[in-house]
Structure 1
Amino acid sequence: MNLPIHPIMEQSFAVIDREIGGHEFERDEYAIVRRVIHSTADFEFKHLVKFSPNAIASGISALIEGVPIVTDVGMVKQGIAGLLSRTFNNQLISAVSQVEEALPGKTRTETGLLKCYREFPHAIFVIGNAPTALLSLCQEVKNADIKPALIIGAPVGFISVVESKTVLAQTSVHQICVEGRKGGSSVAVAILNALITLACEANSN
């Protein structure tokens, strides 16, 4: 199934194609980067979005196979829900909503994400806000027998953000990461929604 593109989005993509300049992205990588730039109007993401080998293929396969999708916060979940409901039947879970109280020394989002990882270690994890949750997830994944199908690491901010992304980059798991301080819910949503679009194309071939 190929998804229709809204005329305004199509026009925006055309502007990005004209202005992005030279790059070495493969087709599917560019589809994701272009969607991020579309959601932010920030061409710096051309230099910030990084892909581990086979990350996109793993994410596409997981979507088609119905693997659960775990987001750190509700805003990311809501940004994904619309497109997902029209395409695939993957369970969509917001980690922060899975617990009422945080464990000692941890945030509620971090606590919820760890709970989700123990229940769904093979899931797609989408982090757009919570660097502490990403750090804890990476620690859990490091020596685990079952690893996530994909981790999207795009928290935003100043505290623990760069550190969490550095730790993710050193983790042997399929990942799409946004380097530096930039990221956020809209960026994480754009990456996953671009993957859903690519998965729909792959599923129709």
Structure 2
Amino acid sequence: MNQQSSLNHPIVEESFKIIDREIGQHNLSLLEYQIARRVIHSTADFEFIDLLKFSPNSITIGVDALKNQTPIITDVTMVKQGIVNLVAKTFNNSIITAIENVTYTLPGKTRTETGLLECYQQYPQGIYVIGNAPTALLALCQQITQTKLKPSLIIGVPVGFVSVLESKKSLEQIDIPQIRVDGRKGGSSVAAAIINALIILAWENNS
């Protein structure tokens, strides 16, 4: 049994086989597809096969960062809850949640936005996983542009209608290793699925 199958529940493996059959041919690389398949498993939404976008070498960079125990910064608690068990079974990276890391709220900014900016000051090279708060993603992109301190990887997949498209466009325009979802779709479950897929790839590669 390989490392990946040992980390996946048998029902997940069976679901993957169904997804493989229904998708058939696609244009993703092997590694990109493994991430997309887990997102589709978590959402039952096959549109993600086309909506997921990967910057060059983003998967390899993310895998290396995880293996080096780089801290993982999430925007909200739901993303953290979706990854904490797998992180504990593998590389035991620190997980910091922006909304729980707020010592004060900046004027005109949300608690998540403020917390994420504080996290960026503390962990500029962290892995940032944003599934819920587009304003936090916008603020992070603005700070990166100003300071030039680059996170190891940004997973930018906020969901919704207000500032969502703008935040993803802002991420697309900066030179940072990134995995994002085009359009309005995304969410905490998508963000957790992406980082979990990267963790499994890193664990499998670590064997």
* TM-score normalized with structure 2 length: 0.96
- Distance of 2:191 and 2:43 partners within structure 1: 11
Is the CA contact 1:142–1:172 (under 8 Å) kept in the aligned structure 2? no
Alignment pair present for 1:128 and 2:131: yes
- Distance of 2:10 and 2:118 partners within structure 1: 41
Gaps of 5+ in 1: none
The secondary structure found in structure 1 opposite 2:3 is coil
Alignment pair present for 1:82 and 2:76: no
Q: Which runs of 4+ in 1 moved over 6 A?
A: none
Once the two structures are superposed, residues 53-81 of structure 1 have per-residue CA deviations (whole angstroms, 9 ceiling, x without a partner) of 01001100100001100000011011110
| Identity value in percent | 62
Amino acid paired to 1:72: D
Alignment pair present for 1:2 and 2:3: yes
Moved more, 140-149 or 14-23: 140-149
Alignment pair present for 1:180 and 2:183: yes
The secondary structure found in structure 2 opposite 1:43 is coil
Is the CA contact 1:72–1:133 (under 8 Å) kept in the aligned structure 2? yes
Equivalent in the alignment of 2:198: 195
The secondary structure found in structure 2 opposite 1:151 is strand
Once the two structures are superposed, residues 106-162 of structure 1 have per-residue CA deviations (whole angstroms, 9 ceiling, x without a partner) of 000000000000110000000000000000000111243430000000100000001
Equivalent in the alignment of 2:44: 41
Alignment pair present for 1:164 and 2:167: yes
| Alpha-carbon distance, 1:90 to partner | 1.0
Amino acid paired to 2:158: P
The secondary structure found in structure 2 opposite 1:50 is strand
Alignment pair present for 1:71 and 2:74: yes
Amino acid paired to 1:99: V
Paired residue total? 204
- Distance of 1:36 and 1:75 partners within structure 2: 16
Superposed CA RMSD = 1.1
Alignment pair present for 1:112 and 2:115: yes
